[in-house]
């Protein structure tokens, strides 16, 4: 038995035999063309056009976020700059195969050098390149194998075209040895609720036929598990099925203490799924996700439409919309135009919006207009607040636009440490544990080499959460958590014990968290929280909370 580690997406668990995805086509050789430039150019054009059409077709078949991703890929395939690059190589004597291989590799290197969100699009380019080369060679497009039985798919990284159309009856889980938590594979796996562990470098050694348990909640893949592990996994799989089938009651601890269960959304179109899964509202709407590919600031009317669609899905329910959080992992060209050595410590979040206040004012205008036309209970909040002054700036501005409820995200340790003073000027606080962990532990959340520090179970992070929870209770102001920590069922109980009153997460996590809360009273939650706070490190906190849950 061997255990491999990667980054788990969601909370799922699955077991089954491994099937490896075929390795990519080898690089073509670079001998000059025997056909001549005109013929090679025509071959390249035809191959690119037919791959773009196939990506479009797959997108239409898949729908949802996958459709957008695949349509974007089709556009990249037909990008005029790439066409020029291909033509230049062919004019210099290359075959179409070599020109495609070389031009896409150049584009990939440019994206990788940019890093972050764009860097993680590199796998998309490899996929298009491989598809076009396969077409030129008359070979089948690389893709997901079909062994005729359910299996655990192990791949270098999956292309959006493959992830989008995974047959969930057959693919029990997905393991990649490249790709990070913000790769398209991860985004689509999260949306489709596929059990996935990404970036598990040692998974390269898993051979087809090996039995594997894939546990996304711990980010582990266990190869050749013993009978005990197999039985435990089977029990957890059965438990999750029953949680999925359980009634969609509002979130509450076993003694009835309400802990609202809210959804994190990035697109209005995802609202229906959140409602179906029993979300009691929205705890974080990431407005920057609407505009990640826009080069110019969106207009008021574009924004109003998007917000109206979102708010209409939640009549009478709370919907917390965050104003644009641009910078670092989510750059928006129209807000972040200066090069910064350390963008996570730079002009991001509210700081970037203040530097372009007209954009913030337009966003608040659009929100106020959408609010007036719909029945939801709109709350607005500002990201990356570090000071009391930023708090009063934002809440006063929101007030100018008639927005009734204005709060702040607590993502910077300074804001957590002064939570009582910050909350004195805000209607609520929502703790963003992803950034709060990044800044508390001084560990870039996008950097695989420091991923082990990026663990919200760390008692230093929990102590900051406790500060905010206590301040909220003293001042009678709601405190929620909307970082990934809220989606970890055991940590969710600990957060409730630290005084958090609502938890917001990817809708696919709601069932597991609902079930964990219902199994603990407020006293239990406080006991678990105390045990976790007393530990020395993240692993110790997790172990202490687990032990406190099951006293012998
Ligand atoms: C967070 O930082 O925890 C958060 C919810 O915001 P984002 O992940 O969008 O930065
Ligand atoms: Mg954040």
Q: With both helix axes pointing from N to C terminus, report the angle between 96-114 and 80-91 in degrees, rounded to the nearest 10.
A: 130
Residues in the chain: 552
Q: Token digits for 122? A: 């590199």
Burial 327-346 (b: 16+ CB within 10 A, else e): bbbbbbebbbeeeeeebbeb
* Nearest C-alpha neighbor of 396 from the set 465, 350, 355, 356: 350
Q: Answer whether 284 contacts ligand 1 (Cβ < 6 A).
A: yes
| Residue whose CA lies nearest to ligand 1 atom number 9 | 286
Q: How far are the Cα atoms of 28, 94, 96, 97, 98 from residue 34, in angstroms, in the given order? A: 14, 9, 11, 12, 13
Side-chain-side CA neighbours of residue 407 (13 Å): 26
Q: Splitting the chain (552 residues) into consecutive groups of 10 residues, what average pLDDT does each group show?
A: 88 93 83 92 94 88 78 85 91 94 87 70 82 87 80 86 76 87 70 86 93 92 96 91 86 98 93 95 93 85 97 98 90 86 92 96 98 98 98 98 98 98 98 95 82 90 98 98 92 98 92 93 98 97 92 64
pLDDT in the model for residue 509: 87
Best mutation site among 482, 502, 503 for ligand 1 pocket (most ligand atoms within 8 Å of CB): 482
Cα–Cα distance for residue pair 364/402, rounded to 1 Å: 9
DSSP string, 285-317: EEGGGGGTT-SSPPPHHHHHHHHHHHHHTSTTS
Cα–Cα distance for residue pair 186/448, rounded to 1 Å: 14
Phi (first) and psi of residue 465, to 5 degrees: -60, -40
> Is residue 458 annotated as part of the catalytic site, yes or no?
no
Contact between residue 497 and residue 448 where contact means Cβ atoms under 8 Å apart: no
CA 5 to chain centroid: 19
- Taking the CA of residue 432 as reference, the ligand 1 atom at the shortest distance is 3
pLDDT in the model for residue 259: 98
- From the candidates 135, 184, 425, 520, give the one annotated as an active-site residue: 184
Q: Answer whether 327 contacts ligand 1 (Cβ < 6 A).
A: no
- Taking the CA of residue 411 as reference, the ligand 1 atom at the shortest distance is 2
Cα–Cα distance for residue pair 385/391, rounded to 1 Å: 7
Q: Answer whether 325 contacts ligand 1 (Cβ < 6 A).
A: yes
Best mutation site among 264, 320, 408, 432 for ligand 1 pocket (most ligand atoms within 8 Å of CB): 432
- Ligand 1: distance of its center to the CA of 429 in Å? 13
Is the sign of the CA dihedral 325, 327, 329, 332 positive or negative?
A: positive
Q: Which ligand is nearest to the CA of 288?
A: 1
Cα–Cα distance for residue pair 3/337, rounded to 1 Å: 43
Q: Answer whether 435 contacts ligand 1 (Cβ < 6 A).
A: yes
- As residues whose CB is below 5 A from the ion ligand 2, the structure lists 411, 432, 435
Q: Answer whether 162 contacts ligand 1 (Cβ < 6 A).
A: no
Cα–Cα distance for residue pair 475/118, rounded to 1 Å: 42
pLDDT in the model for residue 69: 79
- At 418 the three-state DSSP class reads coil
pLDDT in the model for residue 185: 73
- At 428 the three-state DSSP class reads coil
> Is residue 135 annotated as part of the catalytic site, yes or no?
no
pLDDT in the model for residue 498: 98
Question: What DSSP state is assigned to residue 265?
Answer: E
Instruction: State the Rg of the chain over Cα.
Output: 24
- Taking the CA of residue 431 as reference, the ligand 1 atom at the shortest distance is 3
Cβ neighbourhood burial of 362 (10 Å; 0-12, 13-18, 19+): middle
* Nearest C-alpha neighbor of 110 from the set 122, 98, 101: 122
Burial 259-270 (b: 16+ CB within 10 A, else e): bbbbbbbbbbbb
Best mutation site among 292, 429, 483, 487 for ligand 1 pocket (most ligand atoms within 8 Å of CB): 483
- Ligand 2: distance of its center to the CA of 432 in Å? 5
pLDDT in tens, 149-188: 999 999 988 776 677 677 888 899 999 988 766 566 777 7
- Answer whether 0.85 is exceeded by the pTM: no
Instruction: List strands edge to edge, sheet with 211-215.
Output: 2-5, 220-223, 211-215, 13-20, 151-155, 171-176, 196-198, 7-9
Contact between residue 334 and residue 294 where contact means Cβ atoms under 8 Å apart: yes
Q: Answer whether 465 contacts ligand 1 (Cβ < 6 A).
A: no
DSSP string, 463-510: HHHHHHHHHHHHHT--EEE-SGGGGSHHHHHHHHHTT--EEEE-GGGH
Contact between residue 251 and residue 233 where contact means Cβ atoms under 8 Å apart: no
- Ligand 2: distance of its center to the CA of 99 in Å? 41
């Amino acid at each position: 038995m061997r255990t491999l580690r990667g980054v788990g997406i969601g909370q799922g668990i699955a077991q089954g035999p491994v099937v490896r995805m075929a390795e990519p086509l080898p690089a073509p050789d670079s001998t000059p063309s025997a056909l001549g430039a005109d013929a090679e150019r025509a071959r390249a054009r035809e191959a690119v056009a037919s791959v773009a059409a196939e990506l479009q077709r797959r997108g239409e078949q898949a729908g949802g976020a996958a459709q957008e991703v695949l349509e974007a890929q089709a556009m990249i395939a037909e990008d005029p700059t790439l066409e020029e690059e291909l033509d230049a190589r062919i004019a210099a004597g290359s075959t179409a195969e070599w020109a495609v291989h070389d031009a896409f590799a150049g584009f990939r290197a440019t994206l990788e050098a940019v890093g972050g969100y764009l860097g993680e699009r590199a796998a998309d380019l490899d996929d298009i390149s491989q598809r076009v080369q396969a077409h030129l060679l008359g070979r089948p497009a690389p893709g997901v194998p079909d062994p005729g039985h359910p299996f655990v798919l192990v791949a270098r990284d999956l292309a959006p075209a493959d992830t989008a159309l995974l047959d969930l009856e057959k693919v029990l889980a997905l393991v990649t040895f490249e790709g990070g938590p913000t790769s398209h594979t991860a985004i689509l796996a999260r949306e489709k609720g596929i059990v996935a562990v990404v970036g598990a470098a040692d998974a390269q050694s898993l051979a087809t036929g090996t039995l594997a348990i894939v546990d996304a909640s711990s980010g582990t893949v266990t190869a050749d598990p013993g009978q005990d592990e197999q039985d435990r996994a089977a029990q957890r799989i059965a438990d999750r099925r029953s949680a999925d089938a359980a009634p969609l009651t509002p979130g509450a601890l076993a003694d009835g203490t309400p802990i609202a269960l809210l959804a994190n959304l990035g697109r209005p179109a995802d609202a229906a799924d959140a409602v179906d899964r029993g979300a009691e509202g929205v705890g974080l709407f990431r407005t920057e996700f609407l505009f990640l590919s826009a080069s110019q600031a969106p207009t008021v009317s574009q924004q109003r439409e998007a917000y109206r669609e979102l708010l209409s899905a939640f009549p009478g329910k709370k919907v917390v919309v965050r104003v644009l959080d641009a910078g670092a992992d989510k750059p928006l060209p129209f807000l972040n135009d200066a090069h910064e050595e350390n963008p996570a410590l730079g002009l991001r979040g509210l700081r970037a919006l203040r530097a372009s206040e007209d954009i913030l004012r337009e966003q608040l205008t659009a929100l106020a207009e959408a609010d007036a036309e719909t029945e939801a209970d709109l709350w607005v909040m500002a990201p990356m607040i570090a000071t009391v002054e930023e708090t009063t700036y934002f809440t006063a501005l929101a007030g100018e636009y008639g927005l009734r409820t204005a709060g702040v995200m607590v993502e910077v340790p300074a804001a957590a440490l002064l939570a009582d003073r910050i909350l004195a000027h805000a209607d609520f606080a929502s703790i963003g544990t992803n950034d709060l962990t990044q800044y508390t532990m001084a560990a870039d959340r996008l950097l695989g080499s420091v991923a082990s520090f990026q663990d919200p179970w760390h008692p230093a992070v929990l102590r900051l959460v406790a500060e905010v929870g206590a301040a909220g209770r003293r001042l009678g102001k709601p405190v929620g958590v909307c970082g990934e920590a809220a989606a970890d069922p055991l940590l969710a109980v600990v957060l409730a014990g630290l005084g958090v009153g609502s938890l917001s997460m990817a809708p696919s996590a709601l069932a597991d968290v609902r079930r964990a809360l219902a199994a603990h009273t407020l006293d239990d939650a406080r006991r678990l929280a105390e045990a976790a706070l007393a530990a020395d490190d993240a692993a110790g906190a997790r172990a202490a909370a687990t032990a406190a849950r099951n006293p012998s």
